[in-house]
Amino acid sequence: MAGDHDATEILKPLVFRLHENAPAVVREVLLERGWTEFDKKEQGDRDWNLYWRSSPFRMTDYCSIKPWQRLNHYPEAVRITRKDYLVRHLKRMKGAYGSALYEFSPVAFIMPNDYVKFVAEYSKEKQSPGRRSSYWICKPVDLSRGRGILIFQDIKDFAYDCTVIVQKYISNPLLISGYKLDLRLYVCVTSFCPLTIYTYEEGLVRFATEKFDLGSLDNVYSHLTNTSINKYGASYKKYKEGIGHGCKWTFSKFRSYLRIYGVDDLLLWKKINNIVMLTLLAVTPLPAASNCFELFGFDILIDDKFKPWLLEVNYNPALCLDCSIDATVKRKLLHDIVELLNYKQIDALRQNQAAGTKAGRTHVSLRTPGKSALEEAPGFLSCQGEAEYTAVSSVQSALQAAKGSILKANQTKKTARGHPRKTLTSQLRERMNMTKTSSQAKAETRSKQLPGAVHSPQQFVPPSCWLPTPNFWNCKLTTLPYFLSEKDQRPIPRVGDFVLIFPFNEAALQASRGAINVKSIIQEINKLVIKQFPSKQMKTKKRVDYLASM
């Protein structure tokens, strides 16, 4: 029985699988945590816990996902990460819910389709007496890292040869010692259905390496904050007064800087969180898929009035380590992501949690199109329709193993759980770093058995439910989604530096279940804004009233 086993036997390492081009730091961090790398020749197709790719997964990867596995992309997450898609979605939201709420993205046009509209806007400004004409930034829709960007004021300097967006250039950015900066904010969505969003409290402030100067629009080192550009600038390595060497700060340093100057950094943070929620709402619903997560890189520019602007959302935010600040922030970020993935001891077995048999169970990650998850399975967990089947012959032996695990979990359940939570991988990491004798190590490992060592007993279903089912789509949900706490079946409020920002209250949670009710969520966000920014109260109140009347 599992309860009688030596703890070291139970703590099998978790296995990661990396696709080519996956960032090296992902491998480093996972090895550091005691994981092992998937070996195609030695291991079965399903014998892994985390698959990390830089490109999207195939639909079959989502369909064959197992309870012990996680994928680092959500299907169709690119809907907000391509610049033109983002523009389109935000425009639609502005149209539906009012520009006041969605005023955080600079006005933008998609070329060539919107050329006439752009020229009309440009001409209107030119003809307004006393109005200084705007600056514009032109960005190819499917390029990144500052490639192909052009900034102009006069339309005669505007030329393009591929699909681009032309966006109002924020010409009054917040400057520190004369240098422009923007924020790279990490956002992790552990589920789009129900919507579950975490923002990372630590992050990167990225500086341009030459002083901001509207007189030299073609100087990329003055106007673009991409590290991929600035690291090749002549001033990158030099000491820059007020900034230091290189081109990065951490958020912590930036917050301290703001506080010194009496700026309310918490207020700024709240505004940024609102931007994140409103942006992600713009792409919902995405096809439901279980056991996935998406790490987005939100680029936020702050202007000289401390208003945050969303510039773009990045798929696969860069995880290369260009400097020591990168190493500190990104390594911790990855550790916290693994914690957020909430692996349990039983996941290391890579077996059917209930049946204890390898590859016995299939999570079906797609819902019947057009049918709300609420209809399929009422309750908070309703979104993840699953079908399961298990080889009948293995059921009995599997039950024995599962019973042992349940017993173990129940014995340890009363242990208090602090933050960051102890997880299998953190235990493994600790074990790797231990210099104690093996008997000491064993005793300690036993005493650290996780309260949530197995998925909770109420998830176990009679063996008949594990049999293949002819109706794949209408099967009952039997496994708690990984992003919910076992205690209250709600998202965990904080994991490491990840802070849950959505759902932020019960009403938002209810509205994001099943067929997501965007209008209700927007109403809740409006109420939140009233509380957060009382000075905006009247304006926002009108908006709430307006929405309520829709």
Contact positions toward ligand ADP, by CB under 6 A?
Answer: 106, 137, 139, 143-147, 149, 167, 169-170, 182, 224-226, 299, 301, 311-312
Beta carbon nearer to ligand ADP, 3 or 146: 146
Bond preceding residue 140 cis, omega within 30 of 0: no
Q: Provide the greatest CA pair distance for the chain.
A: 84
Structure tokens at 304: 């000289």
Which position has the token pair 């990840």?
498
- As separate numbers, helices (DSSP H) first and strands (DSSP E) second, the chain gives 19, 17
As measured in angstroms, the least distance from the Cβ of 461 to ligand ADP is 47
Closest C-alpha to 305, from 274, 267, 276: 267
Partners of residue 50 on adjacent β-strands: 16, 70
Taking the least distance from each CB to ligand ADP, the nearer of 173 and 356 is: 173
Q: DSSP strand E in 31-163: where?
A: 36-37, 50-52, 70-71, 108-111, 136-140, 150-152
One-letter identity of residue 20: E
Question: CA-CA distance, 501 to 525, in Å (whole number)?
Answer: 11
Cα–Cα distance measured from residue 333 to residue 242, given in angstroms and rounded to the nearest whole number: 27
Residue 310 or 500 with smaller CB distance to ligand ADP: 310
Nearer to ligand ADP, 81 or 362 (CB): 81
Nearer to ligand ADP, 214 or 267 (CB): 214
User: Could you write out the three-class secondary structure of 350-407?
Assistant: CECCCCCCECCCCCCCCCCCCCCHHHHCCCCCCCCCCCCCCCHHHHHHHHHHHHHHHH
Q: How far is the CB of 137 from ligand ADP (least distance, A)?
A: 5
Neighbours of 236 (CB within 10 A): 20
Please say which residue, 180 or 344, places its beta carbon nearer to ligand ADP. Answer: 180
Report, in Å, the least distance between residue 262 CB and ligand ADP. Answer: 25
CB of 228 to ligand ADP, least distance (A): 8
- Shortest distance (Å) from residue 169 CB to ligand ADP: 4
For ligand ADP, the closer of residues 227 and 425 by Cβ is: 227
Using the minimum distance from each CB to ligand ADP, give the nearer residue, 144 or 427: 144
- Considering the complex, state which of residue 1 and residue 162 has its C-beta at the smaller distance from ligand ADP: 162
Quote the least distance from Cβ 164 to ligand ADP, whole Å: 11
Question: Residue type for 52, please?
Answer: W
Query: How many Cβ atoms sit within 10 Å of the Cβ of residue 456?
Result: 16
Question: Which structure tokens are listed for 4?
Answer: 């009688």
Query: CB-wise, 226 or 352, nearer to ligand ADP?
Result: 226
Assign 423 to helix, strand or coil: coil
* Closer residue to ligand ADP, CB minimum distance, 167 or 394: 167
For 131, 264, 273, 274, 368, the CA distances from 102, given in Å and listed in that order, are 24, 22, 13, 10, 32
R_g of the chain computed on alpha carbons: 25
The HSE-up count of residue 378 (CA atoms within 13 Å, CB side) is 0
- Pairwise CA distance, residues 502 & 515, whole Å: 16
As a whole number of angstroms, the distance between CA 449 and CA 454 comes to: 11
Asked if the peptide bond before residue 420 counts as cis, ω within 30 degrees of 0, the response is yes
Least distance CB 233 / ligand ADP (angstroms): 13
The two structure tokens encoding residue 426:
């953190």
Half-sphere exposure of 419 (CA within 13 A, CB side): 11
Closest distance to ligand ADP from the beta carbon of 251 (Å): 16
CA dist list (Å): 185 to 74, 284, 410, 547: 19, 20, 39, 30
Based on CB atoms, which residue is closest to ligand ADP, 224 or 547? 224
Smallest gap, in angstroms, from Cβ of residue 348 to ligand ADP?
38
What's the min distance (Å) between Cβ of 279 and ligand ADP? 14
Nearer to ligand ADP, 104 or 389 (CB): 104
- Least distance to ligand ADP, CB of residue 36, Å: 35
Please report the sign of the dihedral spanned by the C-alpha atoms of residue 289, residue 293, residue 294, residue 300: positive
